[in-house]
Each structure stands twice: as C-alpha cells, then as structure tokens.
C-alpha cells in the first residue's frame, strides 16, 4: 500500500479536536497556516508556561489512520482530526520512523520528524479511557505511545487528502523517536 494523506485538519483555537479541511498550507519554519500551534517557538500551553522561548518541535501533528481503526474496534468513536492531528496518514508506520526522517507530502511540502506526541490528560477528557487505549507495552515492558508523531516544516506547500507521502530516511545510525 502506498503511503497517503487521508485527511488534513486545523484549528485557530487551542481546542482538543481539529475540524477536517479540504487543504492545509504548511509554512516553512512555522507549521500549519491558521493553526493555534503555528510558530517558531512552542505554542502548547503547558510548554509555554515553562519556557516560551523553546523551539517549536511540534509544528505539525501526524496520526496514522490505522490507529483510528484500532480505536473504533475497541469501542471509541474516533475519526480524523478528533485527537488534534493536522495530518492523518494511511499506509505508513509513523511510530517506526527514526528521528530526522523527512516526509514529502503532496507536490512540495517537506516535514522533518522530531519525535513522539506524549498523550496528556486531555485525551481522557475527550473520551473516557482513551489514554489507556493509546498507551501500550512492548515485549520488554517499555511504554509505547501510539498517539502520533510531531514534525517541523522544512518546505512549505499545500497538502490535501489523497496526496502521496514519500519517506526519506536519515543517515544511519538511526535514533528512535522520543517524546518532544
């Protein structure tokens, strides 16, 4: 299966969910045009409270549509944009990508993967029990965070549902994703 964008979402407010759009515009060094998290420095409220000068490594939030399928099978009413992602993908193992992977979306946009989204209490406020559903353990007992990845925008452009995603791996040795 080819990796594709299945949905795009944005919100000008700091709401948990983001409405789906026909397209989003990515702006190099800043994020999604019109989104509350747009900016060169951190925009997530808890991080701003700690240090508003931190670089924004969370300009674009991506979630794999396969997670939505898994959550619906577990009884959660979850669809694209509901968990605050800007880009919903299909056919790509986002959680298995190393730090520094470049993702080409559509004709011109390029993202660089910075790390994992750390699920927070808002997830359970949205749907009771959802936090537990997006956390797991691997065979060694290590925590697995399934609620998506974060990226910065290297090259801007418009992104639409149906756009192809091309993966460019960083040079080895690869660094596993960590929470950003």
Give me the percent of the chain exceeding a pLDDT of 90. Answer: 89
Domain limits for position 142: 4-168
Whether 174 is in a domain gets the answer no
Whether 178 is in a domain gets the answer no
**Maximum CA extent, the chain:** 42
Whether 140 is in a domain gets the answer yes
Name the pLDDT band for 121 (thresholds 50, 70, 90).
confident
What domain count does the chain have?
A: 1
Q: Is the pLDDT of residue 124 over 80?
A: yes
According to the model, what pLDDT value does residue 48 have? 85
Whether 65 is in a domain gets the answer yes
Average pLDDT over residues 126-147: 93
What CATH number does the domain containing 59 carry? 2.40.33.20
Instruction: Give one DSSP letter per residue of the chain, joined into a string.
Output: ---EEEEEE--SS--SS--EES-EEEETTTEETT-TT-SSB--SHHHHHH-TTSB-S-SEEEEEHHHHHHHHHTT----TTTTS-SEEEES--GGGPPTT-EEEETTTEEEEEEEE----THHHHHSTTHHHHTEEE-TTS-EEE-S-EEEEEEE-EEE-TT-BEEEEPPSSSPPPP-B-
Q: Is the pLDDT of residue 10 over 90?
A: yes
According to the model, what pLDDT value does residue 45 have? 79
According to the model, what pLDDT value does residue 36 have? 95
Whether 150 is in a domain gets the answer yes
18-76 tens-digit pLDDT: 999 999 999 999 999 999 999 999 998 788 889 999 999 999 999 999 999 999 999 99
Report the 10 Å Cβ neighbour count for 99. Answer: 17
Whether 96 is in a domain gets the answer yes
Whether 106 is in a domain gets the answer yes
Contact 101, 177 (CB under 8 A): no
What rounded mean pLDDT belongs to the chain?
95
Contact 102, 152 (CB under 8 A): no
Average pLDDT over residues 3-23: 97
Whether 151 is in a domain gets the answer yes
More confident residue, 34 or 118: 34
């Amino acid at each position: 299966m080819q990796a594709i964008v299945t949905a795009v979402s944005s919100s000008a407010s700091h709401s948990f969910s983001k409405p789906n759009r026909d397209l989003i515009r990515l702006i190099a060094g800043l994020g999604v045009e019109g989104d509350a998290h747009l900016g060169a420095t951190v925009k997530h409220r808890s991080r701003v409270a700690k240090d508003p000068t931190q670089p924004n490594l969370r300009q674009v939030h991506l979630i794999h549509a396969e997670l939505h399928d898994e959550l619906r099978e577990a009884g959660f009413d979850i669809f694209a944009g509901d968990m605050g992602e800007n880009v919903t993908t299909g056919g790509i193992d986002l959680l298995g990508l190393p730090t520094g992977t470049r993702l080409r979306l559509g004709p011109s946009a390029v993202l660089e993967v910075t790390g994992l989204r750390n699920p927070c209490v808002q997830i359970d406020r949205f749907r009771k029990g959802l936090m537990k559903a997006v956390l797991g353990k691997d065979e060694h007992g290590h925590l697995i965070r399934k609620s998506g990845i974060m990226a910065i925008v290297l090259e801007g452009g418009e992104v639409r549902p149906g756009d192809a995603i091309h993966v460019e791996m960083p040079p080895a040795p690869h660094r596993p994703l960590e929470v950003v």
